[in-house]
Amino acid sequence: MNLAHYLGLLHKAEVDLAAAYRAIGEAHMDEPDVFYDCEKFAAQCDRHAERLQPFADRYGEEADDEPDRLHSELFTGTREGGLGLLRDLHDLYLMAAECDISWTLVGQAGQGARDTDLMEVVTGCEGETAMQMAWLRTRMKHAAPQALVVS
Amino acid sequence: MPTSRHAESPTATDRIEDPWGARTPYGPQHPSWPARVDTFLEDGIDASDVDRWVQSASILHSNGDALDIAVKDGRIVGVRGRAADRINRGRLGPKDLFGWQANNSPDRLTRPLVRDGDRLVEADWETAMGRVVDRSRELLDGPGGWGHFGFYTSGQLFLEEYYTLGVIGKAGIGTPHMDGNTRLCTATAAAALKASFGTDGQPSSYTDVDHCDAIALWGHNVAETQTVLWMRMLDRRRGPNPPAMVAVDPRATPVAREADVHLAVRNGTNQALMNGLIRELLVHGWIDERYVDEHTQGFEKLQQAVDAYPPERVAQICDVPAGQVRAAAEILGTCERLLSTVLQGFYQSNQATAASCQVNNIHLLRGMLGRPGAGIYQMNGQPTAQNTREAGADGDLPAMRNWDNDEHIRQLAELWNVEVDKIPHWAPPTHAMQIFRYAEQGSIKLLWISATNPAVSLPDLARIRRILERDDLFVVVQDLFLTETARFADVVLPAATWGEKLGTFTSVDRTIHISDKAVEPPGEARPDLDIFLDYARRMDFRDRDGGPLITWDDPESAFEAWKACSAGRPCDYTGVTYDRLRGGSGIQWPCNARHPDGAERLYTDGVFNTDPDYSETYGHDIPTGAAHTESEYRAKEPKGRAFLHAVDYEPSPEVPSDEHPLLLTTGRTVYHFHTRTKTGRAPQLDGAAPDVWVELAPDDARGLGIAEGDLVEVRSPRGMITARARVCGVRPGVVFVPFHYGYWDTPASTGPEGGAGRAVNEATVSGWDPVSKQPIFKVAAVAVRKVAGAAGGHAPAPTVGGAEPVGDAAVPRTSGGRAAMATSTVEEAS
């Protein structure tokens, strides 16, 4: 069963996203909404990763070694200024999208595996990830005209 | 209505010592609230000396009390309440009675000022406006020029002025960067009304006080902020069949002391309390199931969300007894006509929109809306804040249109005869704190501030001063006085004020009043409308056919233009004229063919403004503020039903720590308005509360070795102030400081300049509610320590209101003496 690979992928994506939220929030402390919301979302990602861990452990026993190339590198550090904020939020959006589609696929697999416990976790978390993406989208749409057109 | 009346002989009252005056008790069976005409005239002036009485309404709070301005020899010499008006039936509060004296203050600005190096020097209007227009043209020339402009206006101008400013910004310059200081005030009222009911618009009427059997005050110290509304509530409380009363406030305000149940919650926990109260309503079946089924959606999610908040958990989070939560819920759940009123204790706390929506939820669950006595006031703080919102001079589009609805933008483009793309609608208008952020980053290069004083009223003042000081920011300030903010300006434009100009404004309960011109403005000061019109002319803003963009030239023609904009929208003014507003009472919108005399209440049929084609918003995720899309909104198929929003409690961004163990909250006294620009110049009001103070609970004071009158330092991670201590009825763990006090009447004039701060916003947090973007003034972590002893003195705090001392400290009673004697004449129905 390859589900473990996707659980690992998702787990790592949530851990990475939490770290990126924290780094970007702190880099943009002069944007209080970004700072506070990134803190909040980082805590959500922590919880997601915690809730995934038992399933990753359980399915991991039945799996081959996790292929490294499943992971992607989307975030390499924070930037400054209006354009920098936009680019940082853009990175977060892509990282959240990685989580979002992974939740969908893990949810599908959970159905195939008839694993109601896993499906419950997916249901509890995927909505939060979707809302993180909606927030990032809202915030970027606000920021883009000023950052890209007004100099 | 009674067929005849007789007036009792007038009584004189010191309205500083007794801000609310004598009671005129009444009950729900009484035909109406008895009239009581309050009058205050300058010393030595008698009513028979007055040359003219000129119609207006109060401008120093949001209640909309109708009054006449007394004029003698071309000067304002006093005021008198209008008995015929539906709002106040002749009554006035202390700020109304005494505040007008600021108009006659010798330090009014009478000429424009322009910057010459580190000085501001007098100039003529040609020079001052020339500088503003030259800079504007320079910035507007080139792609993205619109993005260099920011407008930060007020809740104290007139409707006609806001509408004109809104059109200049949206269709002249084409910038979304326009907001009002209403962002620090009523933005959450608007956000909560939109979220629950589809559009802004206060649903209820002040006459609901006459009919209700329970009043719940949610973070609203109405006794000090809207004194006349409190008089109405007190008169009910002293009459037959008085309403029960529930108050939520961390301080022992007059409202809290009057209430049957006072929930002195820990700041920042409103949402937990509200979830707990709603849970109690559901557990006991105190809901109107038919109303919920027919007129709402979201019940199941709400039921799930509140299930985690039994009274014991609420007691733990909010630090109030579980029994009190139950007692409050029983009043809310078993009354037959519930009236709620909400203000800054909810709006300026964390989870502001969420908690305010829970008040709406209670009324929806119980079917308590749209009939006499069953109502909600999502309040305003400022006199004309309602108009800032309606006319689109803040983060809203004119006449409650939805920025995300292409048809609404097309309507505006057609009305103004401009290309659709001229009107910025890619996102909601930029909120105040973001405007200042863009200025901090240097992309906004011209900031035009009208009738507000951000150098005292915004959070984290050191940062605001750094922004206003920037060399690359051209600051225009339009005001009556050389405020703290004006001292940072490149150009200062002297404005005429209330009593010196003509216009209209609208109260919380949608009552429109006219305010006629009584006297000439001082020197070369000009009405704000004239300043905006002059700017539009000089900038030569054009419509798409080459005609002038602004087609009006005086208040009445501006009002007519606004009426066209309002047609068919919730705030429909089309049936109102200046002539109809003169004499008699104010008129409530909507006033149109369907409601020729106005409408007392909205949503009387339980049908809400949530239709996607009509609503002002497609909604938000309340916890994060993420915007929903049009398709997501349409998929909900609201069909005129209201939304029940369910939100979990979250602690505020800043909570007490070892280093900063106390919670700071800020607020108001009955004697002052905002940054004291006017009230600090009225001797009776200034004398009653002349300087800043800090309120401490007795146990906290004892623990810190602090007594009445000691000099105390209040320090947060951002800044520090010193103030004299008042030991009073604020809840343990919380300190309160009024936000009115700045620096204009200190030697430093703009800020602490190395000395101790006086403005509490030195210490407040830069952070805001995710939906309404209201800054969180009510929750900051601070450390408090004694700096010096009282030396036999006491805090410069009044003994009236929330600052009423407890314990045995000898504090002289606040009074105004002879100079504060106003007369009241009760008109008895016979």
Look at A150 and B148 and tell me if their CB atoms are within 8 Å: yes
CATH code at position A142 = 1.20.1260
Token digits for A40?
């909040």
| Residue B519 Ramachandran class (φ > 0 left, ψ -120 to 50 alpha, else beta) | beta
Q: What is the pLDDT of residue A64?
A: 64
Compute CA A42 distance to the chain's CA centroid, rounded to the nearest angstrom. 9
With contacts defined as CB-CB under 8 Å, which chain B residues touch A89? none
Inter-helix orientation angle B555-566/B159-167, to 10°: 70
pLDDT band at B807 (very low <50, low <70, confident <90, very high): confident
Q: Taking a contact as any Cβ pair under 8 Å apart, which residues of chain B between 651 and 670 contact chain A?
A: 653
Strand partners, B210: none
Domain that holds residue A122: 3-64+82-148
Would you place residue B715 in the very low, low, confident or very high pLDDT band (cuts 50, 70, 90)? very high
B816 CB neighbour count, 10 Å cutoff:
24
pLDDT in tens, B554-578: 999 999 999 999 999 999 999 999 9
- For the domain B187-379, what is the CATH code? 3.40.228.10
Instruction: Report the pLDDT averaged over residues A36-46.
Output: 97
Domain B113-186+384-588 has CATH 3.40.1390.10: no
Query: For A131, which residue in chain B has the nearest alpha carbon?
Result: B626
Q: Cα(B394)–Cα(B183) distance, rounded to whole angstroms? A: 8
Residue ranges of chain B that CATH labels 3.40.50.740: 113-186+384-588
Q: Please report the residues numbered 410 through 429 in chain B whose beta carbons come closer than 8 angstroms to any beta carbon of chain A.
A: 424, 426-428
Tokens standing for residue B75: 């000067």
DSSP B181: G
Note whether residue A75 is domain-resident: no
Structure confidence by residue, pLDDT tens digits, B190-220 = 999 999 999 999 999 999 999 999 999 999 9
**Residue reference for tokens 């203050």:** B105
How many CB pairs below 8 Å do chains A and B form together? 67
Q: What is residue B440's predicted lDDT score, i.e. its pLDDT?
A: 97
CATH architecture of B662-814: Beta Barrel (2.40)
Identify the pLDDT of residue B779. 96
Chain A residues with CB under 8 Å of B437 CB are 30-31
- Which among A32, A39, A146 has CB closest to B443? A146
CB contact under 8 A, A150 and B443: yes
Instruction: Count structural domains, chain A.
Output: 1
For the cut 70, the answer to whether the pLDDT of residue A70 exceeds it is no
- Residue in chain A closest to B430 (alpha carbons) equals A142
Tell me how close the Cα of A139 comes to any Cα of chain B, in angstroms: 8
The SS3 call for residue B34 is coil
The type of residue at B35 is A
For residue B529, what pLDDT is reported?
98
Cβ within 8 Å, pair B443-A142? no
Q: Residue A56: is its pLDDT beyond 50?
A: yes
B557 touching chain A per CB within 8 A: no
Among all residues of chain B, which has the CA nearest to that of A136? B626
Residues of B in contact with A33 (CB under 8 A): 625, 767-768, 770
Instruction: Specify the pLDDT at position A69.
Output: 60
Q: B633 — contact with chain A (CB < 8 Å)?
A: no
pLDDT for position B829: 57
- B146 chain-A contacts, CB cut-off 8 A: 150
Report the pLDDT value the prediction gives residue B1, as an integer from 0 to 100: 39
**Whether residue A59 has pLDDT greater than 50:** yes
Give me the percent of chain B exceeding a pLDDT of 70: 99
Tokens read off for B442: 């240097």
Q: What pLDDT digit, counting tens, does each position of B275-316 carry?
A: 999 999 999 999 999 999 999 999 999 999 999 999 999 999
Q: Do A150 and B426 touch (CB under 8 A)?
A: no
pLDDT of res. B181:
96
Mean pLDDT of chain B: 96
Q: Which CATH fold would you assign to the domain B5-104+820-829?
A: N-terminal domain of TfIIb (2.20.25)
pLDDT, mean of residues B486-507: 98
* Model confidence band, residue B5 (pLDDT cutoffs 50, 70, 90): low
Q: Kindly write down the DSSP assignment for every residue of B352-413, as one continuous string.
A: HHHHHHHHHHHHHHTT--SBTTBEEEE--SSTTHHHHHHHTSSSSBGGGB-TT-HHHHHHHH
A22 within a domain of the structure (yes/no)? yes
H-helix or E-strand containing B512? Answer: strand B511-515
Q: Which of B147, B440, B621 sits opposite A131 (nearest CB)?
A: B621
Residue B189 has pLDDT above 50, yes or no: yes
Alpha-carbon dihedral B580, B370, B185, B104, rounded to 10 degrees = 30
Answer yes or no: is A76 within a domain. Answer: no
Specify the amino acid at residue B314.
V
Locus of tokens 């010798």:
B106
Checking ipTM against 0.90, whether it exceeds it is: yes
Query: Over 70: is that where the pLDDT of A25 sits?
Result: yes
Strand B587-588 with B511-515, pairing:
antiparallel
Quote the CA–CA distance of B711 and B790 in Å, as a whole number: 7
Nearest CA to CA, how far is A149 from chain B (Å)?
5
Least confident of A50-64, A80-94, B26-40, B82-96: A50-64
| Strand B821-829 relative to strand B11-14, pairing | antiparallel
Q: How far is B196 from chain A (nearest CA, A)?
A: 20
Higher pLDDT among residues B150 and B5, named by residue: B150
pLDDT, mean of residues B56-72: 97
pLDDT classification of B4: cutoffs 50, 70, 90: very low
- Give me the torsion for CA of B313, B316, B320, B321, rounded to 10°: 60
B815 and A CB contact within 8 Å:
no
- pLDDT score recorded for residue B384: 95
**Two tokens, residue B459:** 């959070």
Specify the pairing of strand B244-248 against strand B214-218.
Answer: parallel
CB contact under 8 Å between B767 and A30, yes or no, is no
User: Nearest CB to A142: which of B146, B427, B766?
Assistant: B427
Residue A60: pLDDT band by 50, 70, 90 thresholds?
Answer: confident
Q: Scanning every residue of chain A, which has its alpha carbon at the shortest distance from the alpha carbon of B651? A: A40
More confident residue, B341 or B395: B341
d(CA B701, CA B733): 10
Give pLDDT, residue B3: 40
Q: Which of B623, B650, B766 sits opposite A32 (nearest CB)?
A: B766
pLDDT digits 0-9 by tens, B131-185: 999 999 999 998 899 999 999 999 999 999 999 999 999 999 999 999 999 999 8
A63 confidence band (pLDDT: 50, 70, 90) = low
